[in-house]
Amino acid sequence: ASKEEENKPIRVAVTGAAGQIGSVLCFFIAQGRMFGPYQKVILQLLELPAAEGPLKGLCLELQDGAYPLLAEIRPSTNAEEAFKDADVAVLVGAKPRGPGMERKDLLNENAKIFKVQGEALDKVAKKTVKVCVVGNPANTNALIASHYAPSIPKKNFSALTRLDQNRALSQLSDKLKTRVEDIKNVVIWGNHSLTQYPDVNHGEVIGADGKRIKIRQAVNDDNYLNDAFISRVQKRGGEIISVMKKSSAASAASAACDHVHDWWVGTKPGEFVSMAVISDNNKYGVANGIIYSFPVVCKNGEWQVVNGLNIDEFSKKKFKATEDELLEERKMALNI
């Protein structure tokens, strides 16, 4: 690529930009957390007309950050304007759940948003646009957006389960008293919900001597790994809501950066990450046509599901439970 091509800013659309997650996310992106320290960006920010004031304020503050990577800021309350020629779209704008709710309870209200935004992406975004859905229920919302954007490949639509993966890593790091970056290949399967399956079976931890040890061996407590660990990660979103009375914000923004970063820049050699993507070819026995979180590797801007992992009976049951829930959510979405 020419120098000019290399320095061309990436157009990143963020919806719900003035909300809890969006307003942190925009600063992370402007600082280079999503595309690295040299890549310029144009932020195309979408909000509801009711949030025009906070959106304007956010833009003023972004300006005042004097970020060298921030080439331009374009606020809008019109989806087609915000998605115009977008290279990346992070769809955050949606209602969050409160105490006592499950994420799928939001389907009724949020499904409509993702229909309209799918249609707008179809019309005006680049056909290569990479979409990361954060708004809940994220997997099914991504499926809806993709359904209404038939001219954009299905593989370009994803949902965020990286926050769950990061939660799993930090729990294990705490348990093992190891640095979080020394724990590899712990992944999330299925739905970003209570049925998700945080799976340590393929994970390794790098010991003080530099040797890689299987996580099961290092933890040496299958009862913990098969029970308390899984349920802590599954319920972490709810734990935060019960403490803060609102849902996670900065950790979600951080995970969205990790997700898009690895998709755009590539995963590290020998490492895989979790992304909820369209299921096809019955990989790992999962029904086709749902947005299911898999272990993936990314290269040249494309993800690929990791092949050939050994799956035990315990895991197969977990895969099925979360698949069943996604099939049920798909049915609910079709009825809306």
Pick 48 or 311: Cβ nearer ligand NAD: 48
Transcribe 99-130 into DSSP letters.
TT--GGGGHHHHHHHHHHHHHHHHHHS-TT-E
113 binds, among ligand NAD, ligand LMR, none (CB under 5 to 8 A by kind): ligand NAD
| Residue 207 C-beta: closest distance to ligand NAD, Å | 31
Q: Are strands 273-278 and 70-76 parallel, antiparallel or unpaired?
A: unpaired
- The verdict on 44 binding ligand LMR (CB under 6 A) reads no
Pick 96 or 118: Cβ nearer ligand NAD: 96
Pick 238 or 266: Cβ nearer ligand LMR: 238
- The verdict on 200 binding ligand NAD (CB under 6 A) reads no
CA dihedral 21, 25, 27, 28 (to 10 degrees): 140
**Region near ligand LMR per CB under 6 A, out of 144-152, 199-207, 218-226, 234-242:** 234-242
Contacts of ligand NAD in 297-336 (CB under 6 A): none
When CB distances to ligand NAD are compared, the closest residue is 19
| Residue 330 C-beta: closest distance to ligand LMR, Å | 19
- Tokens for 109? 């209200």
| Residue 219 C-beta: closest distance to ligand NAD, Å | 25
| Residue 79 C-beta: closest distance to ligand LMR, Å | 23
Pick 93 or 118: Cβ nearer ligand NAD: 93
Cite the beta strand spans of the chain per DSSP E.
10-15, 41-46, 70-76, 88-91, 130-133, 157-159, 183-184, 187-189, 197-199, 204-206, 212-214, 273-278, 291-299, 302-305
How far is it, in rounded angstroms, from Cα 273 to Cα 295?
Answer: 5
Candidates 15, 76, 136, 185: give the one binding ligand LMR (CB under 6 A). 136
- The verdict on 47 binding ligand NAD (CB under 6 A) reads yes
- The verdict on 42 binding ligand NAD (CB under 6 A) reads no
- The verdict on 103 binding ligand LMR (CB under 6 A) reads yes
Q: With 0-12 CB in 10 A as exposed, 13-18 as middle and 19+ as buried, what is 151?
A: exposed
Place of tokens 């707008």: 120
Candidates 93, 190, 203, 295: give the one binding ligand NAD (CB under 6 A). 93
Pick 191 or 218: Cβ nearer ligand NAD: 191
How far is it, in rounded angstroms, from Cα 158 to Cα 145?
Answer: 10
Pick 148 or 224: Cβ nearer ligand NAD: 148
If phi > 0 it is left, if psi is from -120 to 50 it is alpha, else beta; for residue 112 that is: alpha
DSSP 268: P
274 touches 188 (CB < 8 A): yes
- The verdict on 247 binding ligand NAD (CB under 6 A) reads yes
Active-site residues, by number, are 192
| 210-to-81, 204, 242, 272 alpha-carbon distances in Å | 51, 12, 40, 19
| Residue 21 C-beta: closest distance to ligand LMR, Å | 9
How far is it, in rounded angstroms, from Cα 153 to Cα 159?
Answer: 15
Query: Which residue positions form the known binding site for substrate?
Result: 97, 103, 136, 167
Query: Which residue positions form the known binding site?
Result: 16-22, 97, 103, 110, 134-136, 167
Residues that bind ligand LMR (CB under 6 A): 96-97, 103, 136, 163, 237-238, 240-241, 247-248
